[in-house]
Chains A and B, each alone.
Chain A
């Protein structure tokens, strides 16, 4: 969840999770539609790689969990600035 949150924080987290779930199903369907064994293996390897990357991705975030505890309330400070140099 954190990995997704920080990869590209969106206004609606749930929507992103849903979207990714759909993508996963589509991948599975594609895998079974394709006949070649080699292609299937590639797909599995790709998925394993993707899972490995996700685990790695969560790693820094999980290592940072509890590392910086601050009890201050988050304030909606907005910065109104145009581009400069």
Chain B
């Protein structure tokens, strides 16, 4: 039985920038990092099966993929190290697999350093602020240009709910715009976004790059919503591709973003968001909220002419979720209840503008607090503070319990402070077991989703696997269509896997018995 949010498989796709103080091509750095993960036996090369790709086949056909031991996909995406977590279905795993992704990225950077004989760094953020010289002759001037790369989220959604895209826009755009108050990663971007020189600290750097309400493209002319149709499952599913997840480091924010998003999508599917507030000019509203890091008024004008604020809009979503749970004949699940309580708590604090309470819990507030205390005198120092928070160094190994914490680490993100915040704010969650779960997440896919089958098949019968994708597994004998998010999970096939011995044929026979229509010879 899956409760509301547990019926939703989801994942995080992080593009990590890989840097070194040298003029090596970024793609070379990324490739060295990917090779390093293979050397450390955390991943293996795979052929990505494109049989079910219907909209991104050209782009996908150019990608050389690796598959992590934990079911993640790893590849070079336009000069960034992309790690897409396996699909999970609860917020605790959102944290565990996001932290495992950080450890993969850090390990990859260390291996790249060895291979290239040059220190290679990897950061978890969404912007690179680059100094450029503009103009000609005497009019030459230095300026800051901000490049962006993404953190995407994905969550399985019912296709029926997404058929009318105007309904999707009405229900979800106000959510995407206002949730940044607790999901914003915070960073400095070129001051030109607000018509100034230097740099400006913003709540959501990604918001500054949005030009329209919806878009198919994720690289130019970005929309608040992305219309990409890659179900990665049976046709009755839509995979909502959220291009405005952000590079978060705090457990609290990662947890809350995941469960809040799942609750909102459940309410959306069930029709509880059909009367969401209509925002006048949502693209500009997104940016205005993002730049308001000081007055924190977060004003939003509705199409009716009424002025409201982003927190009041978040309150609307809470009420919709409460209505959904009240009307439901089933009792809410554990994560549904924890999630709603946490969302209400964060909105109450935001309503009273107790923003300072979120230091170590919400990334943008933590970064701003660091900036305040470091008192950068120049924009270069401001950029450095934000970059140093995003730096993945030995401190990420704290999550394995074999930490390389200590003075040698330079990252300004402090895992101990972050976990202490999560423990205080979310006492219902067993944070004491996070280390164990992260260690599991480094080498195993989540037990509850179809990724369990793919990851285990690769580990046990790798030589018999010809190709993989999110929704297929190609064996020498046959192709298995993984159309349903929870099919062939540990409960369904774990025991057979453990008993099968040295051949994948026995497993294929079991799969054929369970899902006769999903095995294609």
Taking CB atoms, residues of chain A closer than 8 Å to B360 are 68
**A81 B196 Cβ-Cβ under 8 A:** no
**B379 A11 Cβ-Cβ under 8 A:** yes
Taking CB atoms, residues of chain A closer than 8 Å to B414 are 70
Report the Cα distance A78→B387, complex, angstroms: 7
Report the Cα distance A3→B295, complex, angstroms: 10
Q: How far is the CB of B421 from chain A (nearest CB, A)?
A: 11
**A84 B373 Cβ-Cβ under 8 A:** no
Report the Cα distance A10→B130, complex, angstroms: 15
Report the Cα distance A57→B199, complex, angstroms: 17
A residues 26-81 in Cβ contact with B at 8 Å: 53, 56-61, 63-70, 72-81
Is A22 interfacial (CB-CB < 8 Å)?
A: no
Report the Cα distance A72→B372, complex, angstroms: 15
- Interface residues of A toward B: which range? 35 or more
**A67 B243 Cβ-Cβ under 8 A:** no
Partner of A79, one of B17, B191, B368, B373: B17
Is B208 interfacial (CB-CB < 8 Å)?
A: no
**A77 B373 Cβ-Cβ under 8 A:** no
Partner of A82, one of B20, B79, B125, B385: B79
A11-B147 contact in complex given A67-B359, A67-B369, A78-B387, C-beta closer than 8 Å: no
Q: How far is the CB of A1 from chain B (nearest CB, A)?
A: 9
Report the Cα distance A7→B408, complex, angstroms: 33
Report the Cα distance A75→B411, complex, angstroms: 9
Q: How far is the CB of A2 from chain B (nearest CB, A)?
A: 6
A13-B296 contact in complex given A8-B197, A64-B368, A72-B410, C-beta closer than 8 Å: no
Residue in A3, A12, A67 whose Cβ sees the most chain B Cβ within 10 Å: A67
Contact surface of A with B, Cβ cutoff 8 Å = 2-3, 5-13, 53, 56-61, 63-70, 72-85
Contact surface of B with A, Cβ cutoff 8 Å = 15, 17-21, 26, 77-80, 121, 123, 125, 128-130, 147-150, 152, 188, 191, 194, 196-201, 218-219, 243, 293-296, 355-356, 359-360, 365-366, 368-382, 384-385, 387-388, 390-391, 410, 412, 414
Query: Could you list 8 further interchain pairs (A-B, Cβ under 8 angstroms) beyond the known A59-B294, A61-B294?
Result: A11-B378, A64-B373, A70-B370, A72-B388, A73-B410, A77-B388, A81-B17, A85-B219
